[in-house]
Amino acid sequence: MQNFEPTGAAAAMPGSAVPQIKRRLVISACLLIPLFYLGLGAAFGLPLPPFLTGDNAMWCGIVQLVLTVPVCWLNRSYFINGCKSIRAPGPDTLVALSSGAALVYGIIAIFTQDAPQELFLPSAAAILIFAAACQLLEVRFKAQAMAPLHSLAERIPETACVLRSRQQYTVPLNEVAVGDIFLIRPGDVMPVDGVVIEGETTVDESALTGAAAPVAKHKDSTVYAATANQGGALICRATRIGPDSTAAQLVHTVQTTAAAKVPLSSLADKVRSVFVPAVIGVACVVLIIWLLLGQSFAFALARAISVLAVSSPCVLALAASAAIMSGASVGAKHGIVFKTAASLQSIGTLHTAVLDKAGTITNGEPEVVTIVGTRSVPAKFLLGMAAGLESQSQDSLARAVMRKAAAENIKLSAVKDVTILDGQGLTGKIAGKVMAGGSAEFIAAQCELTPDLQQAGEQLAADGIAPLYFSLDGHAAGLIGVADAVKPASKAALDALKALGLDVILLTGDSRTNADRVAAQVGLDDAHVVSGLAPAELEAELRRLQTNGPAAMIGSTSAAAALACADVGIGMGAEPLPAADVMLLRDDLADAAAAVRISRAVDARIAQNTRMALVYSALLPLLAAGVLYPLNFVLHPIDSVILMTLFVAWLLSGTARLNSIDPKPASQSEPQKEPAE
């Protein structure tokens, strides 16, 4: 079910047109078989019924005409569109002219010639049928490329279970408003984007991001439309609905990218305004030249019709647009959204990958990385009491301690009489004893810090880890080290970018100590780390790096300004990020390398398609005009349209191989190439 409709170019995406074109082709082909037999059978020595030969030869022409007219009627759209575009002629104009010329000649020949050698009526029908076959190939290709997105849209349920005044109401999806509270039962598919306000579960987000592993959800987690609840019930608040949901935006963005005109497509549009009239002119010249050379009108007309039938300016545009569509579809299946066709192509040409630290290389939130207890207060007890004390605070370090306690299933100690001193620490009573937590200076005022704790804290601080000191009843109780931890997959992701030939740079406003700690864990040396940058300085440094070549900025919301300045902005996560040109929905840095691989594979396919399209456009019209006639080789109009159809089929089948590319090969750092043809 789709609770949104694509607009503009995206609305033209095919699917329902396939059965209609198929019916047209089947009926036309059934008429073409006897038409071929009557029109061309004699040339192959096939016998004709006696009542259609000899003095009754005109009846043979009439029967061919009777078979041809229904084919023309079924495919009348070519004639209608060709006439409408006569002032700006396009491919349909060439089809209409070539088929129409053959039809008119056949009609005239039937009634004016006693024994016409060739009526060209089979050619008139065949041109229309093979033009429709090319259209079917293109429409089916587009439908198959966009199939994953259509499946995603269809996953969104038609109704939602909304909670109003503690009562459950099942309402149509278009009646859900932002701020509504809705219930998600086990096994349900999310109808809209929202925030969890009650409950815990795991959610299958593979339809949206391509990630195979379920994602844990709890209070304040974000859930997305079209993802499936695999665990317990959730109560959520709607944040984005209908066309504003992440799934709807993904479908719309990818469809728009697939339908966008790339440089070669735009070139083809410009060429078409000159190309089609030129082809018509060339066909007329070919007709006149062969007549002047003494050939029959039928022979000359056949050469002119062949030139019209084999020529199309759309071949060049199809060479690029089909590859772009496949690349956009492959990216979407792996949680990579290219917002524009230009971003899909340009990301493969990058020289430098610039990364933000927080939320990109690291998790973006502080985590407990070490706990140092004392003889009187073991680490486990320290964590329980510290979490109880920090539960009264709202800063990020306090939340990290509480998350660690929850992960270790440690019960929080009950705390009373809490006092918070901003920027220093806090105190409270646990079982009647005063407990304090905060900076070294704050705790030193409460008790005497032991040399071991002081040394451990200093070492943590030197490593870029924030030490939180604690005292209990006037004695040192230990410390907890908190830091923004590096994501487990970050080093492998950066190695993959390096293997693709990119210069990887870390830019951050954080201190040199923290930057060096992170850089050491992901394999970056000092020359590739720039720290302590203010926002304006970060943008200036990015512009300096761009002088070496195209640079991408990879980051999250905090790096929005830098994303906008980069040649390609790559955003992390499923949250909307207008400044980004490419979105990595899985929040997985390894997808940046995958995006580069997709781009390079698409560019390679475009280059190959374009070379072949140029060869086709230069060679086939010459053959159709009869340049090899001295060698007794000429193209019949039917041969021309068959070659045209075979070329389009080859081009699309080769481009479809892009869909089989795995942009994240398990043990391959170099960009994966297309399967050999």
**What type of residue sits at position 418?**
V
92, 193, 356, 588: which is the annotated catalytic residue? Answer: 356
CA angle 258, 259, 260 (to 5 degrees): 95
Return the beta strands (E) in 51-136 as ranges: none
Q: Give the integer Cα–Cα distance in Å for 462 and 338.
A: 41
Residue 516 a catalytic site member: no
Concatenated DSSP letters of 199-217:
--EEEE-HHHH---S-EEE
Q: How many CA atoms lie within 13 A of 206 on its CB side?
A: 5
Tell me which H or E stretch contains 193: strand 193-198
Query: 352-355 and 503-507: which strand pairing?
Result: parallel
Asked if residues 73 and 31 have their Cβ atoms less than 8 Å apart, the reply is: no
Q: What is the gyration radius of the CA atoms in the chain, in angstroms? A: 35
For residues 286-313, one letter each, b for 16 or more C-beta atoms within 10 angstroms of the residue's C-beta and e for the rest, the string is bbeebeeeebeeebbbbbbbbbbbbbbb
Concatenated DSSP letters of 344-382:
HHHGGG-SEEEE-IIIIIEEEEEEEEEEE--SSS-HHHH
Q: Give the integer Cα–Cα distance in Å for 616 and 623.
A: 10
Residue 332 burial by CB count (10 A; 0-12/13-18/19+): exposed, middle or buried?
Answer: buried
CA 482 remoteness from chain centre: 37
- Please list the active-site residues: 356
